[in-house]
Amino acid sequence: MIALTRMRVTGFVRSGRALPPLIAVLAVLSLLYGGGASSASSAYGYSAVMLFPILAWLVKLVLDTEPDVQRRLARLTVGPVREAAAGLLAAALLAGGVCLLAMVAPWPFRGIRGPLAGSTEPPVLTGVLLGVLAHLLALLGALALGALTARVVTRRVLPGVVVLVTGSVLAIVLGLRGSVVPWLVPPVMSTARALGAESAPDAGTLAGLVVHTLLWCAVAFAIYGRLRRGRS
């Protein structure tokens, strides 16, 4: 499975398919941090929101890179579970690299500042740790959404694009304050709002965001596995 994962990462990079998402990531981060400094927790929270659609797109591209015939041969060679896991692992590694870039990006731009005098904003280190959590949750949600839009599930390009765009938009819209069905989407926007508050979110709020993400991803991956078995 490790060799198959390495092959898929290498194929994605060498084919040039990594370039469009990389350009989009650099453009988003430049716009986000080029306008001035903000607290670490707020900056990283909204960075995770803005990167979520790009991460899901990246996952889809990684899963769609391998030709169908080659994917079926890999499935016969290593088994369906390992073959599917290798694709998700390759996508997770590349998406994790994007998240790492996003964590480093604000510092050259001086986009992170300390808490203002008299405010209850969390210190920089706490904000960075919260930012790591926000990007991890966004990565998990994007991995699940991107998997649901892969060609092996949708069979055609257009349905995958529709699911990708719709899911990305709903993840933001349904995460806004006052939404009555926020559980339909991963809580990327809810996480950003929690991290952008005047004070650091409490342990209960963070635990709720983590549980929400894990449950949503579990359901999404279960659907992905079922559809994949029926359409491979």
**Which pLDDT belongs to residue 24?**
95
Maximum CA extent, the chain: 63
pLDDT one-digit tens code per residue, 102-151: 999 998 888 888 887 777 788 899 999 999 999 999 999 999 999 999 99
What is the three-class DSSP state of 201?
A: coil
The residue segments making up the domain with residue 54 are 2-231
The amino acid at 45: G
Better-predicted residue by pLDDT, 230 or 68: 68
Helix, strand counts (H, E) of the chain: 10, 2
Model-level pTM? 0.92
Total tally of structural domains belonging to the chain: 1
Residue 229 CB: number of other CB atoms within 10 A?
A: 11
Better-predicted residue by pLDDT, 118 or 180: 118
| Average pLDDT along the chain | 89
Q: pLDDT class for 177, splitting at 50, 70, 90? A: low
**Which pLDDT belongs to residue 3?**
84
Question: Residue 178 above 60 pLDDT?
Answer: no
